[in-house]
Homo-oligomer: A and B are copies of this chain.
Amino acid sequence: MSRKNIETRTRILNAAWKLLEADEGSGVRMSDIAKTARISRQAVYLHFPNRTELLIATTRYLDEVKNVDARLAASRNAATGLERLEAFVEAWGNYIPEVYGVAKALLVMKDTDEAAKLAWADRMAAVRAGCKAAVDALKNDGLLTTEHSVKEATDILWSLLSVQTWEQLTRECGWSQRRYVNAMKKLSNKMLVARPAAQ
């Protein structure tokens, strides 16, 4: 409610953000966050009911600060389906590393916590909507491969652009961000665009 209250709340969110980004989602405890926010551990619970909800709030906060929706929506302005696909791949692909730490924390929680699972599904639904819009635009231009339905093509693009795939390629395989984005552009084209228009 009050000014001070909301200020402390955002201090907690910033602390969680910072720590999750540094540790890439692994072992961040409530006490760590409290300490970073210069607050007692118990006081965190005055602002968030539990760890999961704090993580969820942190991702929402991040999305808000980073203005995801606007950045993803920018691809709408593309003139053609091909351009739209490419713009979306670029926008989302470059967004991932900016939120990876926090996203990873939620991704880990997702496997054991129902609320985290829902929150993750919700955010990913937004990404999926972007994927579908790109596929629709392709189809509209008559450039969608005939081998897959719109739903299937959307699923494929969504999987290609999953955080896990990003993680595997950049972390496990050592790809640079640049290389990742370039490859995703090429691959999404190859996978979804009807043959004559490939490239």
What is the interface of chain A, defined by CB distance below 8 A to chain B?
25-27, 104, 108, 111-112, 147-148, 152, 155-156, 158-159, 162, 164-165, 168-169, 173, 175, 183, 186-187, 190-191, 195, 198
Contact = CB atoms under 8 A, between A and B. Distances in A.
A148 B183 CA distance: 9
B187 A27 contact: no
Contact of A159 (B26, B168, B186): B168
Contacts of A111: 25-26, 104, 108
A160 to B, nearest CB: 8
A26 B112 contact: yes
B152 A183 contact: yes
A169 B175 contact: no
Given A156-B187, A164-B168, 19 more contacts: A25-B111, A26-B111, A26-B112, A27-B112, A104-B111, A108-B112, A147-B186, A148-B183, A152-B183, A155-B169, A155-B173, A155-B175, A156-B183, A158-B168, A159-B165, A159-B173, A162-B165, A165-B165, A195-B198
